[in-house]
Structure 1
């Protein structure tokens, strides 16, 4: 039996970009280290608030800079309304930007946070891991799913 999931295209990871929006310095350190171990060929663009992230996406569109293929969003920046505002803005910014999958990762497992995030268009909602080993496992799973299993929208610009 031929399992096509094991076929990895070298072009799928080449020049890929992940936008990470996280306001906690401690979590950013864990995320950066876990990303380096799991996504060796992916550029992580780190932003600490929703306004800077929106500005970055607008700049990508205006200059032709390659858009990220995935957005990882901490919901509480520092309040959940900040994360929800980002979701609303990104989904209405431009059709190409609106297609980028957004994965919310939060310390909250509040059912209202989860439901509202999905209502605002997130692709996934994940509760943040508790230690570095769990963060590394999380990012390995993230890589396997978003880079090796599903097809992502084409972010056509080449630089």
Structure 2
């Protein structure tokens, strides 16, 4: 496939990308929204601030392939770590159309136990939240390169 065609295909795929961001901190949401818009302006980011809203949306989208997010950014502490683990568990027990969406865990915690537990529980990546806006920009530039421009995800499988 010629480079120009591949580039056009990638640009088309990016326009089709929706990400779900589950973040209960208004300050972090503002930083993330701004960094996402600057680094991946073609992506539609849907922000929710609690587990219930996230699960409601995922359930609603689970039968509509075009509505499913391609990636989920989830805060671990929603507001407690146990709430974050519970949400991740619920996502991982949903239908295959939802439970295969990669979850990138974001947390202020750099505790080794949290990191190991996150991978054991099935996250695709664990990122310690940056402390300043420049670092958020760096994170989202790298995430774009990897998750949007590079990775090929399996097709969505629906069960009826």
Q: TM-score, normalised by structure 2?
A: 0.89
* Deviation for aligned residue 1:154: 3.3
8 Å contact from structure 2 (residues 97, 157) kept in 1: no
Q: Distance in 2 between matches of 1:39 and 1:139?
A: 8
Q: For structure 1, which runs of at least 5 residues remain unmatched after alignment?
A: none
Q: CA deviation at 1:89?
A: 0.5
State the alpha-carbon separation in 2 of the partners of residues 69 and 129 from structure 1: 23
Match of 1:88 in 2: 89
For the residue of structure 2 that corresponds to 1:71, the secondary structure is strand
In the alignment, the residues of structure 1 paired with residue 61 and residue 113 of structure 2 have an alpha-carbon distance, to the nearest angstrom, of 32
Aligned: 1:58 with 2:56: no
> Is the CA contact (8 Å cut-off) linking 1:104 and 1:126 kept in structure 2?
yes
Q: 1:155 offset after TM fit, Å?
A: 4.8
Please state how far the C-alpha of 1:49 moved relative to its aligned partner: 0.8
State which drifts further: 11-20 or 54-63. Answer: 54-63
Cα deviation for residue 11 of structure 1 reads 2.1
Which residue in the other structure is 2:49 paired with? 48
The answer on 1:17 being equivalent to 2:18 is: yes
Structure 1 stretches (4+) deviating beyond 4 angstroms? Answer: 62-65
RMSD of aligned residue pairs (Cα, Å): 1.8
Q: Deviation of residue 120 (structure 1)?
A: 0.9
Shift of 1:62: 4.7
Alignment-derived partner of residue 136 in structure 2: 135
Which residue does 1:145 correspond to in 2? 146
Q: What TM-score do you get using the length of structure 1 for normalisation? A: 0.89
Q: Deviations over 1:103-157 (max 9, x none)?
A: 0010001111111111110000010011011001110100000011111233589
Q: How many residues align?
A: 152
Deviation at 1:63, TM superposition (A): 5.8
Structure 1 SS opposite 2:123? coil
